Structure 1
Amino acid sequence: MSSFLTNSSSTTTPSASTGQELINDITLNNPPEDSISDLSFSPQQDLLAVASWDKKVRIYEIDSNSGQNQGRALFEHDGPVLSARWSPDGTRVCSGGTDKQVKLFDLASQQSTTIGMHDAPVRAVRYVECGPTNTPIVVSGSWDKTLRYWDTRSPQPVTTLQLQERVYSMDSSQKLLVVACAERQISIIDLNQPQQVFKNTMSPLKWQTRSVCCYPQGNGFAIGSIEGRCAIQYIDDNEQSKLGFSFRCHRKTPGQGGPGNGTNSSALRSASANSNESHIYAVNSISFHPIYGTFSTAGSDGTFCFWDKDAKQRLKAFPMVNATIPATCFNKSGAIFAYAMSYDWSQGFQGNRADYPNVVKLHGCKDEEIKQKKKR
């Protein structure tokens, strides 16, 4: 089988879509049976963890040359799983869900254990390295408005941080941990001093936060909202004043069509006086490329795009996939981009049809799609 990484259609204008770019994308075998909530590649090898509303976390082994894949492991919660992430050494997966539990799964023994509990559903988990000794810790953010750090050897949290609101999204990179909460609240934590919040701030976006993702360098983060906007943020105030900005994405205005501007009915709609409607879609997922530092956004419009924040330009728009995209991630080399096609609840329970797909696709990334363009 020829490599799906090099076999996808090319285009002379990489930022435009020909409609053929996804034709060779590989479908993950034996996918979840309900909506997909999180995707995470191992930082050590091509193993993909998939969290789902069917109460399970599945781990798949992927051949990076052919895209061929098979199930490697599976573990369960007592309710829908909302987040699953790998340990830095790739030996374990932590997870959290609506059963309020934080679990840890060991790949070698194939055993999962409950290492922590919250008072409300656990929205996000991350494996982080704290302090000057880089102590490995599982951190969990919950709708109980707390952030809790777990040493896997103790049932009690090492530290509990009281937050201003419920946790909606969370990410970490290097010694940066960013927690995006309800009411547009953002808590920034320096993992050298994890027991305190470094800075509380408000999202620069006007509407509810949907996703956050830290830059690989750990000096800032991108944040996406339900109003089809993304903001580029830096921790240092000087960097922020020079380099920070926000931009529109995943929208469709009258007369527009094509990639990045889908037309499904899950859009938020804002009508102007002459009743021309703009369709505005949630930015569900942001993922940074581990090598180039460029990034993807994916939304309720059923499209994903690749961007370069430093050049402030869109690198590539992809055609619609005919389902909302709730989660995405790159593998450790950035050669594979995984995206989930399943219902994101943006249209309420009415939109959750029995025939809605629950699929994970693997897209082989080419440099002309994702690498920064040379300045003219």
Structure 2
Amino acid sequence: MATFGASSSANTNPNKSSEVAQPPGDSVSSICFSPKANFLVASSWDNQVRCWEIMKTGTTIGSVPKASMSHDKPVLCSTWKDDGTTVFSGGCDNQVKMWPLLSGGQPVTVAMHDAPVKEVAWIPEMSLLVSGSWDKTVRYWDLRQSTPVHTQQLPERCYTLSVKHPLMVVGTADRNLIVFNLQNPQAEFKRIVSPLKYQTRCVAAFPDQQGFLVGSIEGRVGVHHLDEAQQSKNFTFKCHREGNEIYAVNSLNFHPVHQTFATAGSDGAFNFWDKDSKQRLKAMARCSQPIPSSAFNNDGSIFAYAVCYDWSKGAENHNPATAKTSIFLHSPQEAEVKAKPRSGVSGRR
């Protein structure tokens, strides 16, 4: 069996994507674009959060490193404030830091947990920050005070979190999916056992707030609607598999315009899908290492994805000589991300 990190660098970039200049020195844990401009942020296991300015001219994409900041331990998550001025990041130092990036300000600690912070999201409709941790809590923070506005107990460690106000979905260990209506954030709206048999890796709330996607370690995605009357639309499908080899689905991103979505996995591939017609729109070539995180920019014209060792096959399969970390930028063609008209023919499952 071929091991990641040991493969040749010849197919590191088989999709001929643009490469971000001066990538992190260790594996990337999260990437996210500013909601206002083409600034890309990546958090990494080397304790750093970095920002690049991305320039797109026609089909040419370039990048310029702009700034970086440090945590005391590996950083696991990052997100932007909705005005595009500020970045929040959390990690293994049990802290969330606020970085006023565009004003050149210094990062300050704005949230604390009792264990590593796995997820962080800004909720503009509430002017609150939400953080999810391995301490089995989600905490809501008003940045003007040092204690949480509310601490919500979870049944297990937080692995993933997605917000599309008023919908928030939290995926925890033991395959729990906890749904919150943020108009009443201090109570669970619904608790669901994942429709997938194995550990949850990622969730993404539908843009219309009517449901969510969930991805697991066994190369499968579930499409779940919250309304009982819509349950017939729920389904699961296989992806990120190669023969008998099964890979984790690490990232789920909705396209901001067409509302189709991308999956990225430990097989080093990313694919574009239309959930409504149950079709894969485009399968991209596999890179030589896993893709742990991916993101669309604010208008969907750039899809960023990190390619690096994700430790899913343990330290014994990590080869420092070949395990380079890269962040690539792909310009999706309209045919790759725009839903095809439905003709009444059922799609593949």
TM-score over 0.5 for the pair: yes
What corresponds to 1:48 in structure 2?
A: 40
The amino acid of 1:104's aligned partner reads: M
What corresponds to 1:372 in structure 2?
A: 339
SS at structure 1 position matched to 2:127? strand
The amino acid of 1:48's aligned partner reads: L
The amino acid of 1:111's aligned partner reads: Q
**Aligned equivalent of 1:117, options 112, 120, 126:** 112
SS at structure 2 position matched to 1:64? strand
Q: Provide TM-score, normalisation by structure 1.
A: 0.85
SS at structure 2 position matched to 1:68? strand
Distance across 1 between alignment mates of 2:79 and 2:127: 13
SS at structure 1 position matched to 2:56? coil
| 1:250 to 2:240 alignment | yes
Write out per-residue CA displacement over residues 175-231 of structure 1, whole angstroms, 9 at most, x where no aligned residue.
211100000011111111222221111101000001111122222111000111100
Write out per-residue CA displacement over residues 220-266 of structure 1, whole angstroms, 9 at most, x where no aligned residue.
11100011110001121212x1211100111122xxxxxxxxxxxxx
Residue-pair matches, total: 328
Distance across 2 between alignment mates of 1:153 and 1:168: 27
Deviation at 1:23, TM superposition (A): 4.4
> Do 1:170 and 1:178's aligned partners in 2 also have CA atoms closer than 8 Å?
yes
SS at structure 2 position matched to 1:135? coil
What corresponds to 1:333 in structure 2?
A: 299
SS at structure 1 position matched to 2:67? strand
Deviation at 1:353, TM superposition (A): 1.7
> Do 1:174 and 1:216's aligned partners in 2 also have CA atoms closer than 8 Å?
no
| 1:304 to 2:270 alignment | yes
SS at structure 1 position matched to 2:207? coil
| 1:230 to 2:221 alignment | yes
The amino acid of 2:286's aligned partner reads: M
> Do 1:56 and 1:81's aligned partners in 2 also have CA atoms closer than 8 Å?
yes
> Do 2:255 and 2:300's aligned partners in 1 also have CA atoms closer than 8 Å?
yes
| Backbone CA RMSD of aligned residues | 1.3
The amino acid of 2:160's aligned partner reads: S
- After superposing on structure 2, the runs of 4+ consecutive aligned residues of structure 1 that deviate more than 3 Å are 21-24
Write out per-residue CA displacement over residues 29-67 of structure 1, whole angstroms, 9 at most, x where no aligned residue.
011110100010111111111010010110110012231
**Aligned equivalent of 1:314, options 267, 272, 280:** 280
Task: Please list every run of 5 or more consecutive structure 1 residues that lacks an aligned counterpart in the other structure.
Answer: 1-18, 254-277
| 1:356 to 2:323 alignment | yes
Task: Please list every run of 5 or more consecutive structure 2 residues that lacks an aligned counterpart in the other structure.
Answer: 1-10, 344-349
Q: 1:266-277 counterparts in 2 under 5 A?
A: none
**Aligned equivalent of 1:169, options 160, 175, 188:** 160
Distance across 2 between alignment mates of 1:318 and 1:353: 25
What corresponds to 1:141 in structure 2?
A: 132
Deviation at 1:319, TM superposition (A): 0.7
The amino acid of 1:370's aligned partner reads: V
Q: Provide TM-score, normalisation by structure 2.
A: 0.91
